[in-house]
Amino acid sequence: MTQRPAPRPLSDEALSGLLGRHRFGTLATVRRSGHPHLTTMAYNWDPEARVLRFSTTADRVKVRHLRHDPRAALHVPGDDVWSFAVAEGEAVASESTTVPGDAVGRELLALIPKAERPEDEAAFLRELVAERRVVIRMKVDRLYGTMLDVDG
């Protein structure tokens, strides 16, 4: 019988690097029934603070879930189908941005890479208020994931 390679756990540094290289992942929150709710989200990873940040609107179901149960996880696929990272922790949704340029609005603006920020920052901040945007901040307590070393 042929011995196949087994998945190997990734180091904390490798997992953090994977989170930093990607911008989209699948966020899991907990429904009242206990079942997971999954949604694809753009995110921002702060490796020093070990915090993930997401932008969403106040009326989204994930915000209601987090206000009831803050446990969450983010799954990020690796560079191939054999690797992934999962970040687990507790997440808190901010209050909505209510005044263009308030602290929440500035935090949301900071989530956008500098090269992609809007030219009209004031108009963007007004749009965030109109959309009732919030920041979800997830403090990461646990990182795990694997990679399978295979050729092809």
What is the rounded CA–CA span in Å between residue 76 and residue 80? 11
- Among residues 123, 66, 83, the alpha carbon closest in space to that of 100 is found at 123
Write the pLDDT tens digit of every residue in 55-107. Answer: 999 999 999 999 999 999 999 999 888 899 999 999 999 999 999 999 999 99
- Among residues 145, 132, 79, the alpha carbon closest in space to that of 105 is found at 132
Band of residue 47 on the pLDDT scale cut at 50, 70, 90: very high
Residue 129 pLDDT: 98
131: left (phi over 0), alpha (psi -120 to 50) or beta: alpha
Tokens of 33: 């029934």
Residue 44 pLDDT: 97
